[in-house]
Amino acid sequence: MTLDQLLAIMPQAGRERAAAFLVPLNKYMPQYGITTPARQAAFLSQVAHETGQLRMLREIWGPTPAQKRYEGSINLGNTQTGDGLRYRGRGLIQTTGRANYAACGRSLGIDLLTHPELLETPEYAVQSACVFWLTRGLNALADTGDQEKVTKRVNGGHNGLAERLAFFNVASRVLAC
């Protein structure tokens, strides 16, 4: 993928920001099987929505009513006071919760429980998203072309589906070249 292609998909990222992500994207997407235009378009469309076009690598904290539920959430492994905020969504596909940070850190060989902010760097933001993508079987799902199912697996529902589909359509056109 070229810088011009990435900017065509996510124009609000800006040239400097997009350039910071280009090398890690080109390095790690192939390592995790995100190799076909369909897989890349599905991946990048989800990333574009989740990060506001690479501009937000950390969940904005209100806390909203939904975020308040992170605190003490057994499903997220948030067992200590403050885990909700400390392990809020970070990275390109918003790793959330102590348990997910621990699992991702093991996969990447880094201590994300002590240093959750590492997921805000381009290198680890991309890697964490690729780990999520692979471990959730999203390459196979992307191969089917069902972006609603991809979105549900990424987000747990259909939040932002229209925008994700719009990004997917642009990415499909751009990457087919």
CA dihedral 10, 125, 50, 129 (to 10 degrees): 110
Q: Given 50, 117, 120, 148, which residue is catalytic? A: 50
Amino acid (1-letter code) at residue 157: G
- Report whether pLDDT(72) > 90: yes
Where exactly are the structural domains of the chain?
A: 1-57+121-177, 58-119
- Catalytic annotation present for 16: no
- Report whether pLDDT(93) > 90: yes
Lowest mean per-residue pLDDT among 103-107, 113-117, 156-160: 156-160
- Report whether pLDDT(177) > 70: no
- Report whether pLDDT(136) > 90: yes
- Report whether pLDDT(163) > 70: yes
Average pLDDT over the chain, rounded to an integer: 97
- Report whether pLDDT(176) > 70: yes
Q: Which of 138, 160, 157 is nearest to 41 (CA)?
A: 138
How far is it, in rounded angstroms, from Cα 117 to Cα 125?
10
What CATH number does the domain located at 58-119 have? Answer: 3.30.20
- Please give the full DSSP string across 103-157, using - where no structure is assigned: HHHHHHTS-TTT-GGGGGSHHHHHHHHHHHHHHTTHHHHHHHT-HHHHHHHHHSS
The string of pLDDT tens digits covering residues 10-59 is: 999 999 999 999 999 999 999 999 999 999 999 999 999 999 999 999 99
- Work out the number of other CB atoms within 10 angstroms of the CB of residue 80: 12
Is it true that domain 1-57+121-177 has CATH number 1.10.530.10? yes
